[in-house]
Structure 1
Amino acid sequence: MTTNTAAPAAHTLLTPQEVADMLRIPVRSLYVQRSTGRPTPPGAIVGRHLRYRLTDVEAWIAEQFARSAA
């Protein structure tokens, strides 16, 4: 019996490094922007680790482009 262990995109959690790679910025910049209240994708602390939902990051990126086009 095979089991599908792939998580659906809605449940895919990303590390700060993965989000920084998507945004093509240093991970340090992501942390600094988050800690100073500048716009960043919504994230949550899971245990002791910061994680981002893939769908939230993608929606946040689309929102940034929509704002700059307006």
Structure 2
Amino acid sequence: MAQQTLSFSDDVLATPAEAATLIRINAATLQKWRSTGENNIPYIKIGRSVRYRVSDLRAYVERHVVGG
């Protein structure tokens, strides 16, 4: 299976590691935010798996633009 490269233009479900890479933070930070409700990035639970919509990550980044 070929490995897929994610970008903000893709509207796919990203793993926490992929999501962290896209927004340039540590995956453990995303886990902390999920457990505390801090920074409220929407996520999807599928069984025990957590996924992030790339469009939600893009929206999160856009909400945090300063002076632009």
Regarding TM over 0.5, the answer is yes
Give the count of matched residue pairs. 59
Q: Is the 8 A contact 1:41 1:56 kept in 2?
A: yes
Partner of residue 27, structure 1: 27
SS in 2 for 1:51: strand
CA distance in 2 between partners of 1:14 and 1:27 (Å): 12
Query: What is the CA-CA distance between 1:53 and the residue it aligns to?
Result: 0.8
Rg larger in structure: 1
CA distance in 1 between partners of 2:60 and 2:51 (Å): 15
Query: What is the CA-CA distance between 1:41 and the residue it aligns to?
Result: 2.0
For 1:1-70, list aligned pairs within 5 A: 9-10=10-11, 12-65=12-65, 68-69=66-67
SS in 1 for 2:20: helix
Query: What is the CA-CA distance between 1:47 and the residue it aligns to?
Result: 2.1
Root mean square deviation, CA, Å: 1.7
SS in 1 for 2:64: helix
Unaligned runs of 5+ in 1: 1-8
Query: What is the CA-CA distance between 1:42 and the residue it aligns to?
Result: 0.8
Query: Structure 1 segments of 4 or more deviating over 4 A?
Result: none
Query: What is the CA-CA distance between 1:16 and the residue it aligns to?
Result: 0.3
Structure (1/2) with the larger helix percentage? 1
